[in-house]
Copies of this chain bind each other. A is one copy, B any other.
Amino acid sequence: MRGLMVASIEDVAAAAKVSTATVSRAIRGLPRVSPVTRARILAVADDLGYVASPSASTLATGRTRTIGVLAPFVDRWYFGRVIEGVEQELREHSYNLLLFSLGGYASDRQRLFNRNMVRKQMDALVVLCLSLSDQELEQLHRTEIPLVAVGGPVSGCSSVRIDDSLAAAAATQHLLDLGHRDIGHLHGGWEDQLNFTVPGLRTEGFESTLHAAGLGPRSEWEVEGDYTVRNGVRAAVRLFDSPSPMPTAVFCASDEMALGLMFEARRRGIRIPEDLSIIGIDDHEFSEPAGLTTVGQDPTAHGSIAARMLIAELAGKTGAVRDSVVAHQLIVRGTTAPPCR
């Protein structure tokens, strides 16, 4: 509790008149220390404000008690939530969280994520759904630390996520059940299709459900966004500006895009849901306030689950890290209704 000089294990040992080995055991709660000795050591340590040096400990044990999180962005709803979930779980188990943000999905390949960033810095890594090059993947796997993906499959990793295809199907089916037959589709981007599979999965769920109802997607009602509100608006503009007749409903691959669509619809006096039904996926924090019907997921839970699996694996429970598909949930609010024509 005093002094500016940081106490080392030797200081504690000296003050408690024991060896550093005993201090080490006592502090870490290991057996083979008599209760009274332990108490004395703990008291001394507390008095000296002793805290073990993480780097010394890491160097000696080879374990860092740190888990890395690799995300394309941190300032987007899904990722922020997942990170929050990971953080909470980690903190609970006295693990640290080392954050890496790539600043985009595949953008700047200069700062390729290489195994140098991983080695000796973390005991495990959670990879938030993004498109990694084969080379990056291979490097990651070669680090041989436990890996888990969140929010989308990553080749060769277990992952925790919803069944994106089924979620899209549920959204589409809801529209169908309301009687819609003319359904538009605001989907995610395609450039990264190869590795970033979520857009593909959601599209597949949409189209297969349509087909099962004897319908097919209509290309004039297919518009591309990138999951953001901003591009939801742009996509909406394209859709509304097109000369073809409007669909009576639109399935959006993310709530943010759906919200963008809502904003643009309002701007044009298109009434929701009277003139147009809208459904999204996510249950974004704005969705309830906006009254958006959606298929919800809980990213914070995804993060906790991933962290928990990793921690268990590190604790020796081999096989703790495995695929985990978590439930999604249709949430009907005010933006969907039977078609008026």
Binding site for B on A (CB under 8 A): 4, 6, 51, 53-56, 58-59, 64, 66, 69, 73-77, 80-81, 83-84, 87-88, 91, 96-101, 103, 111, 116, 119-121, 144, 228-230, 232-233, 259-260, 263-264, 266-267, 285-286, 288-291, 300
Contacts and interface: CB of A to CB of B under 8 A. Distances in A.
Contacts of A228: 285
B101 A87 contact: yes
Indicate how many identical chains form the complex. 2
A83 B87 contact: no
A59 B51 contact: no
The 8 closest A-B pairs by CB, nearest first: A75-B80, A55-B58, A55-B55, A87-B101, A229-B289, A55-B59, A51-B116, A99-B99
Contacts of A58: 55
16 contacts: A51-B120, A54-B121, A74-B83, A75-B300, A76-B80, A83-B101, A84-B101, A91-B100, A97-B98, A98-B99, A228-B285, A229-B285, A230-B285, A233-B289, A259-B289, A267-B291
B101 A54 contact: no
Given A53-B120, A259-B289, A99 B83 contact: yes
Contacts of A230: 285, 288-289
